[in-house]
Each structure stands twice: as structure tokens, then as C-alpha cells.
Chain A
């Protein structure tokens, strides 16, 4: 394929992924609306499971219940479409890299399509561990927004890297930041939901305690990755600019994000801070992550301004 063919294919895959994800979002909303109208039906038979060998049987019976909820079919198709969308995004990102002849992380358009993929991957991999269909809507919406911004405002033609980005640290540092950021986004979704779960708007949401537990898990996963991204960035900065930390705005906001999520982890073991307040801290941390990503790249004069827009 010539380079223009690659360019077109990459863009087409991204668009196809967006359309697929949009349909998934619609299906997740339908599933939500359906769940709102009717009470979930609990099959009496499932209560018969004995406490024979610990809790695993209990887990199964809970799954039984969710499977019977109205709207489950829409949510199931939504999940499949989300997988499909992630696969198409992956192809789009890879083709973009082949077109540019390098890692596809040279400007904000490329960061954004990869971040969208990162959010979906964190969600999908996690969904293989537990039933997360109720979360689909709240993950696909931010992903769609990211992709929408990418193809409209942030779009740039592929070009070579500026010399400052030519380093294998680009791969390590950006990969960690994208996965960490994707997990922060999923965590912000569960934290946000935990704040409204008591209101009874959405019947099929897990309980507040459960949502808080899930938030804690996902932030516990992303916080060390974010720490690693920051440290990898510092090592790279030492090699490129002659200092490992210089309070460049990007570094400062990465630090602020880190401190806020550190505060979240402390809040989880502080009396009076474990619940709503902790969830709000997650949202604040996510906000500072967004400021770091969009704000610093576009509005602030920083050594990291590689937006290309």
C-alpha cells in the first residue's frame, strides 16, 4: 500500500470505530432505559445454592440475576460492539504508525486516538474479570468525545517526529501515561456513578459500596502506572534537557495529578473521607489529568507542546 492508501485506511478505520462505538453507546443507553422501567427479576431457584464451598456459588447466583435483567441483550450487543470498535481503533492506530513510519505518538491527534484505545482496553480487559455491562455507557461516552475531538479539532497529517521526541523513552513514557490515563478515566466513571447511585435513578447500578470498591481497585491499578509514567518522563527529561525535573507545566500538572490521587488513596483509609469525599477526589484528580492533557498541550507554553494543531 502506498502512503496515501495507508493514510486513508487509517482514517477510515478510526471513523468506522467511532460509528461502531456510537451504536454501542446507543445500545448501552437502551439497556439503561429498559433497566429503569422494570425491577430486576430475581429467580427464586438461584437462592437454593448452598454455602457448600465458600462464596463462588454466591457470585454465580448474582450473575444469574444480572443476566435476567431487562435490556441485557442490548448491553450484550453493546459489549461486543465495543470489542469490535477497540479492534478497529487498534488497526487504525497501527496503520497510522505505518503511514508515519514510527510510533503513532507524535502529536495530539495520535495521542488522542491511542488514549481512546487505552480507555477501551482498560475497560474491556477489566470486563473479562467481572460483569461491567452497566459501566459501558459511561466509558463509551468519554471515549467517543475523545475521538470526536481527535478527528475534528486535533487532526494533523502524519509527519516525522521532531528531534526531541526521537527516543525509545517516547514509547515507554507515553504508553504508561496512556494506560494510566485510560484507567483514571474508567475510575472517574465509577467514582461519578458512586456519587449518584444512592439516588435510585438507575436501578441496575451496583450499590454505592460496590462502586467505591471498584473505584479503589482501578485507581490502585492506575496509580503505580502513572507513577511509572512520571518517573520514565523524568529519566527521559534528564537525557534530553539535562535535568530530571524542572517544573515545566506538564511536569507540574503530572505532579498535581499524582498528588491528588495519592490523597485519594489516603482518604480511603481516613475516617470520614472513605466514601463520597474520596469519590470527589477521584473526579478532581481526573480533572487535573485532563488539564494536563488538553490544557497544557494547547494553552500553556510548555516544553511538551507537541500538539501540532
Chain B
């Protein structure tokens, strides 16, 4: 390819730019860029999937962290540079495919090109026999039509008769379907992104959830999604069953988790019960409820310095490892003075010198909690929103650390109050999702695979049969039949088809 300088006129320049953008070489480069640009998204933690890890990474790398953050490396797939690559790629795709659509439309309506003068250079077959040229041509036509070739007949200036046949138009059709399906997938993704929403909620056993924004722990919706008109329904987590592997192989791996749910929907006269498992979401209207995680919620009773019960509830602790060593925070603003606890819940307790207290099995076989207690100001009145899973101990004094078993009570030093560990509940976390674009994306993906397969497996071939006089003979008795073919794609030929046609012709004619 020769390097061309862009023309100076504005129109010429635009046309030059368009041609550059829609060239195959540009598409190739953009594909490489897309692959390359995706890599950091798989290596660095991403806000979309793991915001906590992102914050951790930035804290751990104070120099690189903010720089990476400012160029969008923690949100690669939403960053402007990533969008630029795939938008350019899609423009290039449209620019490339649209003209081909017109060309293909024309090609499909055009008869196959007539037979070339010299067939022998295609390395086909050649034989002689007795017969009328018209009859042989008609038979060849019949055979080819039966095998769904598109045919056209004709004769050249010196009396030779020919059939030209072509097959495999579906190759280009498939190619076009594939590329347009990719656009359709993008549309499906865009619809889901604009109108869809997704939320997460943790529900304890026996607790309920109704589908309004305030009930979610986290909720995110597209720009055009309707946060105030979420589908009306509610559910209660009746019970939650978990089983873990107790054998030697993969000990502690989850084997079963299932949530028994009671669902109420408007318009439905009675509540319905459902079993929700991983891979088996609950479908309500268009939204789906997925079981994504679970954990423990120890039941605690906290009394303040006067002995009044200031908290009597199960508190959600978040698992930190595969054995459900779980951490949680208890804030008691109603106590006087205010109390705060950090807790470490161990379903199967072990203590060693290196790791300290930790759990060695995910099932509740040997439960204990290690508490650290603080007294002072929780800082809740500053107006700064706080996470319920972190305790800000600035302005508080630590009272000590104490391990508790179920049924035990820790009387805090200095008469600050007490905390009693009475038992535990399980909780399950659910993801609720609504994606109106996913059906379109699926249909487009199926179309894409179908189109792709057609474009790769169907071969475009041309085949010609020519019947003429045998050189040096008086016409009438014997004629020369030539058969030849070509395949459009490199690395393929029409040998098989030519051989077959020769066999069939011989069988029919001789």
C-alpha cells in the first residue's frame, strides 16, 4: 500500500479520513487496541466489580494510585479512551459493511459471469464423448440446479455451448449478518445500561424485604431507569440452608446453599413459596432475584451503664475468608456514654501465634466472638455518613478485648455496660437485577454465531461446463466437454465439485 498524503481541501480531507477509518488495516489496528486496552481491566481491581479493593489499592500505592485513578484505570470499561476505541471500531465496521451490503445485494441478483475462454488454465477435467451439445448442457444444468447452484447458459462466437454456475452467496450474507449482529449486541447492551438497574440487599433469616429504593444496601440504575417505580413485590427469607464439604478433598468448599423465600406480589391473592439457589434465580415480573452470598449474624444484647437494654438484635457480620472468619461492627448511640464494638466472629474457632484468632471451617461447629469495646463519641452527629461496617474510634477510648461463647456476657470495665452473646442467625445476600436489553443481546448473539458460521463454512465457488468441437474432427459425432471451477477464498478450490460433476455427467451421458 502506498502512503498517501491527505488532500488539502476540506471535503477531500474528510473523504480521505473516512476511507482511512473504514479500511481493513484500521479495523485491524482498532481490534488490537481493543484487546490491549482490555488488559489493565483484568489486572487492576475495577470499581464496577470490586470498589473496596480499588480503595485498598490506592491506599497501598499512594503515588501510582491517584494517577491510575485519574486516567480511569480503575474503571477501564467505562473510561473515555476505552469507549473511543470501540466506538471508532464500530464506525469503521459500519463504514465497511454498509457498502458491502449494497454490493452483495447487486451480486445476488446478477447471473453468474459467463465462462472464460480458456478453461484448461483452471485445471479442471476434460473428456470426449458422443452426444448433442445442447443435451449435455441441459443435463449439466439439471445436475447443478439440483445441487442448488445458480446457473446461466450461453454460447460463444464459434459455436461452443457453456453453463456457468455459482454457489455460496450465503458466505457474504453470513458475514454481513454477523457484523450487523455485533451492532445489535451493542444496542442491547446500551438499552440495558440506560433502562436497567441492579441492587444488592442483605436479608437475615426471618426478615423481609420490599422492593423500594430505601430498602437496598446498594442500588445503581441507568440514566433512564425509573428508580421511583420499581416493580412492587416483597419477600421474606424464611430459612437458609448451607452445607459444606466435610471430606478430605476440598474440605470446607460449599456444597449447597439455598434460600426458602415467601414472596408477595400485587395481583396475586396468596403468598407463594420459592426455593432460590445459585443458578436458580427467582423471577418476579421482569426482575430477577439472585442469591449471591451468605454469612452469619450473631445475636447480641447490649446494656448500658445503667443496665438498660440498648440493643437486642442480630448484627450482620461480613465473611473475610473461605472459612467465614467474619468481621462486624456494633454501634450503640443510645447508650450513655456511647458504645462501639468491633467483633470477629469465628464459626469454628482456632487461635495460633501467626494468624491470631481465626476460623478453620465455615460451619458453626465451635463458635466464638472476639470483641473489642470502645466508649466515647461515635461521631454519628457530624452529619458525615458512615458505613455500618466500620467503626471510627477517633475520640473513643478502648476498654479492652474479650472472647465470648454463646450464652456468655462480658461486663465492660469501668461499669460502662455489658454485651451478651445469645446465639446466631444466618443471612443471605441477594442481587436484584432488571435488564431490558438482555433478550435483544441474546438474539443478536445467536444471529452473530449463525452468521459467523455461514461466513466461515460456506464456500463461494464457480463452476463452468463447456461443450465444443473436438479439434481436428468433423463435427457431429464426438464433442469435447470441459469442466472447471474455482473457489473465491484462498486455500480452497473446486476440485471436489468439479470431480463430482464430471462423474455425474459421465454416468448420465455415457
Contacts and interface: CB of A to CB of B under 8 A. Distances in A.
Interface of A: 51-56, 59, 107, 156-160, 162-164, 166-167, 169, 212-213, 216-217, 220-221, 223-224, 227-228, 231, 234-236, 238-249, 252-253, 255-256, 259-260, 262-263, 265-267, 269-274, 288, 296, 300, 308
Nearest to A57: B499
8 tightest A-B CB contacts, nearest first: A157-B249, A213-B491, A55-B495, A252-B42, A263-B31, A242-B290, A159-B249, A242-B433
A265 B32 CA distance: 13
Interface of B: 1, 24-25, 27-28, 31-32, 34-35, 38-39, 41-43, 46, 48-49, 76-77, 123-127, 189, 198, 245, 247-250, 253-257, 277-281, 288, 290, 292, 431-433, 435, 438, 441-442, 445-446, 448-449, 452-453, 456-457, 483, 490-491, 493, 495-496, 498-499, 502-503
A238 B287 CA distance: 12
18 contacts: A53-B499, A54-B483, A56-B499, A156-B250, A159-B247, A163-B277, A220-B456, A231-B445, A235-B442, A238-B438, A241-B431, A242-B288, A244-B442, A247-B42, A260-B31, A263-B31, A266-B27, A266-B31
A53 B41 CA distance: 57
B1 A271 contact: yes
Contacts of A234: 445
Q: Could you say which of A53, A245, A263, A265 has the most chain B C-beta atoms within 10 Å of its C-beta?
A: A53
B465 to A, nearest CB: 13
Nearest to B247: A159
A159 B279 contact: no
A267 B28 contact: yes
Contacts of B433: 242-243
A206 to B, nearest CB: 12
Contact of A242 (B77, B253, B292, B441): B292
A267 B288 CA distance: 42
A91 B179 CA distance: 41
Given A217-B491, A255-B38, A300-B43, A270 B25 contact: yes
B38 A239 contact: no
Given A163-B256, A228-B449, A238-B438, A51 B125 contact: yes
A244 B502 CA distance: 52
A83 B166 CA distance: 40
Contacts of B491: 212-213, 216-217
A247 B279 contact: no
Contacts of A255: 38
A263 B499 contact: no
B249 A156 contact: yes
B38 A256 contact: yes
A244 B248 contact: no
A221 B452 CA distance: 10
A286 to B, nearest CB: 13
Contact of A273 (B28, B446, B453, B483): B28
B107 to A, nearest CB: 17
A249 B38 CA distance: 10
Given A227-B449, A238-B438, A243-B198, A288 B35 contact: yes
A241 B35 CA distance: 25
B281 A244 contact: no
Given A55-B499, A158-B249, A242 B281 contact: yes
A263 B290 contact: no
A214 B279 CA distance: 40
Contact of B502 (A54, A160, A163): A54
B442 A166 contact: no
A260 B76 CA distance: 19
A224 B433 CA distance: 30
Contacts of A212: 491
Nearest to B485: A54
Given A224-B456, A242-B290, A253-B42, A166 B279 contact: yes
